[in-house]
Amino acid sequence: MREYSVPELVDVPASAGLADTVFRRAEQEPGTVVMRRQAGDGWPVVTASEFRDQVVEVARGLIAAGVGHGDRVALMSRTRYEWTLVDYAIWSVGAVTVPIYETSSAEQVGWILSDSAVRAAFVELDVHEETVREAAPELEAVWRLDGSLDPGDVSASDVDDRRAQVGSSDLATIVYTSGTTGRPKGCRVTHDNLLFTALNVLRGPLEPLFTIKEPSALLFLPLAHILARIIQVALVEAGAIIAHTPNMKNVAPDLQAVRPTFLLGVPRVFEKVYNSAEQKAITGGKGKIFAQAVDTAVAWSRASGGAPLGLRLRLRHKVFDLLVYGKIRAATGGRLSAAVSGGGALGERLGHFFRGAGIEVFEGYGLTETTGPTTVNMPYANKIGTVGKPLPGVSVRIAEDGEILAKGRNVFPGYWKNDEATAEVLDADGWFRTGDLGELDADGYLRITGRMKEILVTAAGKNVAPGPLEDALRAHPLISQAMVVGDGRPFVAALITLDPEALPAAAAEARTDPAVLAQVQEAVDRANQHVSKAEQIKKFAILDGDITEDSGHLTPTLKVKRNVVMRDFAKEIDALYDSK
């Protein structure tokens, strides 16, 4: 049993609450820019004192509406400035934020609202209000984010009094799991969980990213997800400038406008950036140049780990920096040098490409139950292909069966109203069972090898981890999503969808096009090179259309809902094993 621990760097006082930093910064640095608020075509700045005053205004309205200490308040919205504003207002009065993905169905919303027993809800759009009212007609109050709450005779000092009652052990939020394998469970996350994790990240692994001049970030992942949420808290604690954009599909122009120094994404975001650049080069007749640029970036990244860089490699890298890499950096605004990727495996080659192109992507690992990151790579110690070392104050252990266990103040106290589920994942010593499989190397870096519940066992008894195969397939520019199947079957197969953005407009029947089939087969062959013969994909089927969040097959963070795909495409899966 291998274990690796890192001493904590920052302690969190028992009296600390998440909103305290907002008030302290407004008092000490009132004119400092802390946000940029999207308004039409512009991005006006918000100073520390302005943000504090707006937080107080919403908090006064919450108190006047009868929201008490510990009361749950739901928040259903896309990622936008008001999301962060309302979150901190809720924390200022000692209440508990219950985030809801804005794409959630009425049934999902109904479960979350009833299970957490919310007192009121904030919503952004008409469709959100309709969904909430349909799901919980008995709800006391539903407020719009672009509206205002009547503060009555509640004063700013009343808000200060309520904020003074908030302690680090108090519940800050209940975050519901994405529900890829069943009904979502509410994870109880405290002020201490969030502050401890954020502060130890900032004083440890990622400190260099926020000590530069005017650090800034563009948030576009759903703030209902714990990864985006902990980054929000970390950015506020770091004093970085935060901008929000509600739609991942329209990120490109916002990157140009905001020009962030830091970016947070999931692997699919970085895959899309790479695939888009590759496809653009191929369409423009520069596919060979792009391929050479990729090989050079990967070689540069591998060599930069300590080996001397040869003159030829340096010259090639300089040329491709002018031809390719510089254009990719310019597309992100020109100031971006680092990004964090979580929620899945990025892929080693892709990680090397981005580092070689001048944008270092730091992979991390964690779950909602661990308040986001448990491990993360760091500047000057980024071991690509791993998810980094444990955060300061966190211990990681590999159990005898290969399961990753985590322990630290980032680990949640348990599930909301579900002691049985809590007992299944938390032992008496505080070790959390992640359900993921991994390995720790001699230097303490963690490598994810699979997920216990997703391990396929073929009819021949061979255990197969689908993740690495799927990651390799999605790296191909034509492939949007891939899901490996084969549990109880004679061999491993795959369901594949094509990326509509990578196909010519006339290729409506691309799934049967011989040239497309040949490219997908090449991608399968390449993926098979990384596994044993018994684990290799023997057959694949290209589905008619993509699987998306709207179709109900992906979570808001673009993870495949395996059980839903298995159910909806049962005929296609059976056809793969039809011997006729």
Q: Give the model's confidence band at 505: pLDDT under 50 very low, under 70 low, under 90 confident, else very high.
A: very low
pLDDT digits (tens, 9 = 90+) for 73-121: 999 999 999 999 999 999 999 999 999 989 888 888 999 999 999 999 9
Structure pTM? 0.84
Task: Look at residue 268 and tell me whether its pLDDT is greater than 80.
Answer: no
pLDDT digits (tens, 9 = 90+) for 212-266: 889 999 999 899 999 999 999 999 999 999 999 997 777 888 999 999 999 998 8
More confident residue, 352 or 513: 352
Q: Give the model's confidence band at 34: pLDDT under 50 very low, under 70 low, under 90 confident, else very high.
A: very high
- What pLDDT does residue 252 have? 85
- What pLDDT does residue 306 have? 62
Cα-Cα-Cα-Cα dihedral sign, residues 24, 25, 26, 27:
positive
- What pLDDT does residue 176 have? 93
Element (H, E) at 295: helix 287-303
Give the whole-angstrom CA distance, residue 485 versus residue 455. 10
Starting at the earlier edge strand, list the strands of the sheet with 537-542: 479-485, 492-498, 537-542
Question: What is the percent of the chain with per-residue pLDDT over 90, rounded to a whole number?
Answer: 62
More confident residue, 549 or 312: 312
Closest CA to 270 of 288, 256, 251: 251
Give the whole-angstrom CA distance, residue 279 versus residue 262. 25
Angle at 59 between CA 55 and CA 65, to 5 degrees: 150
Q: What does each C-alpha distance from 361 to 249, 290, 381 come to in angstroms?
A: 20, 20, 12
CB 74, CB 113: distance < 8 Å? yes
Closest CA to 408 of 1, 3, 5, 16: 5
Contacts of 475 (CB under 8 A, 6+ apart): 271, 274, 347, 349, 350, 523
- What pLDDT does residue 502 have? 74
The tokens 């990651």 sit on which residue? 471
For residue 107 the two structure tokens come to: 């049934």
More confident residue, 426 or 568: 426
Closest CA to 525 of 542, 514, 540, 546: 540
For residue 413 the two structure tokens come to: 């106290």
Task: Look at residue 182 and tell me whether its pLDDT is greater than 70.
Answer: no
pLDDT digits (tens, 9 = 90+) for 440-453: 999 999 998 877 77
In whole numbers, what is the pLDDT of the chain averaged over residues? 90
Task: Look at residue 180 and tell me whether its pLDDT is greater than 60.
Answer: no
Give me the mean pLDDT over the 473-497 stretch.
Answer: 89
- What pLDDT does residue 506 have? 44
For residue 365 the two structure tokens come to: 């690992």
pLDDT digits (tens, 9 = 90+) for 383-438: 999 999 999 999 999 999 899 999 999 999 999 999 999 999 999 999 999 998 89
Task: Look at residue 513 and tell me whether its pLDDT is greater than 90.
Answer: no
Give the whole-angstrom CA distance, residue 37 versus residue 31. 16
- What pLDDT does residue 149 have? 93
Residue 307: is it exposed, middle or buried by C-beta count within 10 angstroms (0-12/13-18/19+)?
exposed
Closest CA to 486 of 452, 462, 450, 514: 462
Using the CB atoms, write b or e for 189-216: b if 16+ within 10 Å. bbbbbbbbbbbbbbbbbbeebbeeeebb
- What pLDDT does residue 98 have? 98
Cα-Cα-Cα-Cα dihedral sign, residues 426, 430, 431, 434:
positive
For residue 404 the two structure tokens come to: 């990753």
CB 546, CB 552: distance < 8 Å? no
Question: What is the percent of the chain with per-residue pLDDT over 70, rounded to a whole number?
Answer: 97
DSSP code, position 309: P
For residue 112 the two structure tokens come to: 């979350």
- What pLDDT does residue 179 have? 54
Task: Look at residue 508 and tell me whether its pLDDT is greater than 60.
Answer: no
Cα end-to-end distance, the chain, whole Å:
48
For residue 21 the two structure tokens come to: 């930093």
Strand 492-498, strand 537-542: pairing: parallel
The tokens 């979502």 sit on which residue? 184
Q: Give the model's confidence band at 579: pLDDT under 50 very low, under 70 low, under 90 confident, else very high.
A: low
Quick one: three-class SS letters along 409-469? CCCCCEECCCHHHHHHHECCCCCEEEEEEEEECCCCCEEEEEEHHHCEECCCCCEECHHHH
Give me the mean pLDDT over the 124-141 stretch.
Answer: 94
pLDDT digits (tens, 9 = 90+) for 13-33: 899 999 999 999 999 999 999
Give the whole-angstrom CA distance, residue 395 versus residue 391. 8
- What pLDDT does residue 377 have? 94
- What pLDDT does residue 247 have? 77
